[in-house]
Amino acid sequence: MSSARDSERGKLFSRRAALLGIGQAGLTLALAGRMYYLQVIEAERYGILADENRISLRLLPPPRGLILDRYGREMAVNRQNFRALVVREQTPDLAQTLDALGMIIALSDKDKTRIRREVERRRAFMPVNVRENLTWEEMAQIQINAPDLPGVIIDEGLTRFYPYGEGGAQVLGYVSGVSEKELTGEAILELPGFRIGKAGVEKVYDLALRGKGGNSKVEVNALGRVIRELERKEGIPGIDLTLTLDLDLQQYTVERIGDESAAVVVMDVHTGEILVMTSTPSFDPNAFNRGLTNEEWSALINNDRAPLRNKCISAQFAPGSTFKLMVAIAALEAGVVTPEQTVYCQGFVDLGSHRFHCWKKHGHGSVNLVEAIQHSCDVYFYEIARRVGIDRIADVARRFGLGSPLNIDLPNEVAGLIPDHAWKRKFNGQAWLPGETLNAGIGQGYVLATPLQLAVMTARVANGGLAVKPRLTREDVTGSGLKPVGDPAFASVGVNPKSIALVRRGMFEVVNNPIGTAHRAGFDVNGQRMAGKTGTSQVRRITMKERETGVLKNDALPWKERDHALFVAFAPYDAPRYAMCVVVEHGGGGSAVAAPIASDIMKEILRRDLSQTHSTPPAPEVET
C-alpha cells in the first residue's frame, strides 16, 4: 500500500518536473530569441541610439557679417568678447565667490539674484553667464585671481561692436537678444546669447548678415558632461554689406550739426546713392548689445528730441517754402504763369474775410517767377497756387517723390502727405477750401514731407527731371548672396525741362544773389557753386502783435513752439551731382540756421572732389 503510494507520488513529481523543465526551456528560448532580436536584428538601431546618447551635436553661432561704408571702412564689426562664467559644482560657496568677483567687476544685487536663479535651474556642471563684454584688464584680473575664485572661468567669443558709436546709429540699428515672439523654430535662435538685428540695416538685412550656424560633435557621459570634442564644423559667416554712406562725411555732418535736433540727407542726383543720412541726437548702439539699464532706456524713450528715431525717414514736417519749387513747376506746366509775368506783393493778399500775409511785412513789389523764388515771396505763390489749383500741384509734387514712401532699405519710413480734393473728402468728408490751396502754396497746411523725400525732390530738380530713387546699399542682397548693381536708368517725371531750368535758376539766385534769402550761404569752391531754397515751417499761429512788430522771437519760446528750419540744395550748379536736405527741428529760420549747415557740408563734399569717382554725365542746362 505504502509502495503504491510512493510510486504514485514519484510519477506526479516527474510530470511536474517535466512541465517545469518545459516551461524553463520555453522561457530560455524566448529570452534567447529576444536577445537575438535585440543584439542581431536590432543591433544597428540600438547602436545608433547609444551613439546619440554618447555623442551630443551642438550648434555653433556663425560670425555676423560686417557693415562697411562705400570705401570699405568698418561701421559694424565683430570683436573679441570675454565672458565670465561660473560652474556651481566647482564653487563651495557661490555667494562668497560672487562677492569676491564683485571686487573685480561690477556686479549689482540684481545681477547676483539673476545668477543664483539660473544656477538653481541648471545642472551643477553647467556654466552660467555672469557678465559679458569684459575688458582685457578685467579678464586678466580674473585670471590672476583664479585661486580665490573657485568655479569662475573665462569664455571667449565674438560680440557686435560699432566703432563710431552714435555716428549713423539710426541707419545701422543695433542687435539684441531674441525675444520669445521672435522665435521661429530655427534652432540657432535659441542659443544662449545669440543676437539678431532689431533696428536699421541690422534688422532689414538680418538674415543675410546672420549667416549659417556650424556644429560641434562632443562626447558626453550619462550625466551630459562633456568629455571631449570629436568633430567641429564652423558655420558660414554672414555676408559683408557695403553701404553707400561716406563715413567721413557722416562724421563731419554729425560734428557740424552739434547739439541741434536735426536731419540731414545727401544723395547722388544721378545714381540715388545716399552719401549722408544723419539724425541727431543719436544713441550708442553698443549699449543695446551689452544691455541697457532701466535708467538708460527711460532716458532714451522720454527724450523730447527722440534719439531713437531716424528723423530722415520717420519724421515728417511741413516743408514750408521749399515746397514752392513744386508750386512753380505746376504753374508753369499748367500754363497759368509765364516766366516774365509778375505778381505784385504788398505784404498780404485777402481771400474773403481772411488775410494771408507775406513773410516780408511791406511786401516785395512786382516779382516774376525767378525773383519770387529768390525772395521766397509768399504772395506770389499764394496767387499762382490759387490759379493752378491743389490737384495739379499735388500731381507734380508726387512725380517729384513727395507723398508716398520711397522704399529705402530701412524700417519705419513714413509716407508724408500731399493733399488734394479727394484726400480731403476721404479724410473728413468735407470739401476742399480755397484758403487751403493758398496755405499749401507755401508748404503749410496739410502738406507734410520727410527730409529724405525733400532730398529726392531736389535731386529730381537737379538732374533735369529724372525719377531717381534713393538707395543705401552698393549691391542688391538676394537669397544667394550679393548681386552687383548696374548703371541705373531712371524714367522721366514727365515735366518740361524748361520749367525745371527756370526753378533751378531761381534756386541759384537764392544763394548767389546778394539779395537772395540765403546769400550768406554762398561759396565758390574752384568755380563750383551751390543752388538752394530756404524754408521756415511754422508750428504755431503767429500773433498780430508779432506781425506788427515784425519780430518773431523764436528763441524766447519753448523749444517745441519754435519754427522748423529747412534748406534744400544741389551742387555744383553747372554740373549737378549732389542734392541735400537739412531740417533743424524747432531751429528757427531756414536761412539763418539750416542754410549755413548745408553750405558747410556741401563745401566739404566739393573739397573732397567726390565727383571724380563717377562717370554719369551732368544734366544739361536748358536755356530760357
Looking at the predicted structure, is the pLDDT value of residue 619 above 60? no
Nearest to 317 by CA among 595, 562, 579: 562
Give the separation between CA 174 and CA 203, rounded to whole angstroms: 8
Residue 465: predicted pLDDT: 97
Listed range (143-147, 148-152, 476-480, 618-622) with the worst mean pLDDT? 618-622
Residue 597: predicted pLDDT: 98
In our burial notation (b when 16+ CB lie closer than 10 A, e otherwise), range 305-322 reads: bbbbebbbbbbbbbbbbb
Looking at the predicted structure, is the pLDDT value of residue 517 above 60? yes
User: Cβ atoms within 10 A of the Cβ of 91, count?
Assistant: 18
Residue 49: predicted pLDDT: 44
Q: Is the dihedral of CA 110, 113, 115, 117 positive or negative?
A: negative
Q: How confident is the model at residue 614 (pLDDT cuts 50, 70, 90)?
A: very low
Cell of 519: 546769400
Cell of 300: 532714451
Residue 549: predicted pLDDT: 56
The stretch 427-439 carries a mean pLDDT of 95
pLDDT in tens, 243-292: 999 999 999 999 999 999 999 999 999 999 999 999 999 999 999 887 78
Q: Taking the mean position of all CA atoms in its chain, how far away is CA 377?
A: 37
Residue 596: predicted pLDDT: 97
pLDDT in tens, 172-195: 999 988 887 887 878 778 766 688
Secondary structure (3-state) at 128: strand
Highest mean pLDDT among 31-45, 52-66, 455-469: 455-469
Residue 467: predicted pLDDT: 97
Residue 530: predicted pLDDT: 98
The stretch 100-117 carries a mean pLDDT of 89
Highest mean pLDDT among 112-126, 142-156, 464-478: 464-478
Residue 554: predicted pLDDT: 67
Q: Could you give the residue numbers annotated as active site?
A: 321
Long-range CB contact pairs, 556-563, < 8 A, 24+: 559/304, 559/586, 560/304, 560/586, 561/586, 562/586, 562/587, 562/588, 563/536, 563/537, 563/538, 563/539, 563/587, 563/588, 563/589
Where in 297-359 does DSSP place strands (E)?
343-345, 348-351, 354-357
Residue 120: predicted pLDDT: 85
Looking at the predicted structure, is the pLDDT value of residue 624 above 50? no
101 or 28: which leads in pLDDT:
101
pLDDT over 90, % of the chain: 59
Q: Which CATH architecture has domain 247-291+308-613?
A: 3-Layer(aba) Sandwich (3.40)
pLDDT in tens, 367-409: 999 999 999 999 999 999 999 999 999 999 999 999 999 999 8
For domain 58-242, give the CATH number. Answer: 3.90.1310.10
Q: How confident is the model at residue 22 (pLDDT cuts 50, 70, 90)?
A: confident
Looking at the predicted structure, is the pLDDT value of residue 299 above 70? yes
Highest mean pLDDT among 91-105, 221-235, 542-556, 577-591: 577-591
Listed range (207-216, 422-431, 451-460) with the worst mean pLDDT? 207-216
143 or 467: which leads in pLDDT:
467
Looking at the predicted structure, is the pLDDT value of residue 42 above 60? no
Domain extents in the chain: 58-242, 247-291+308-613
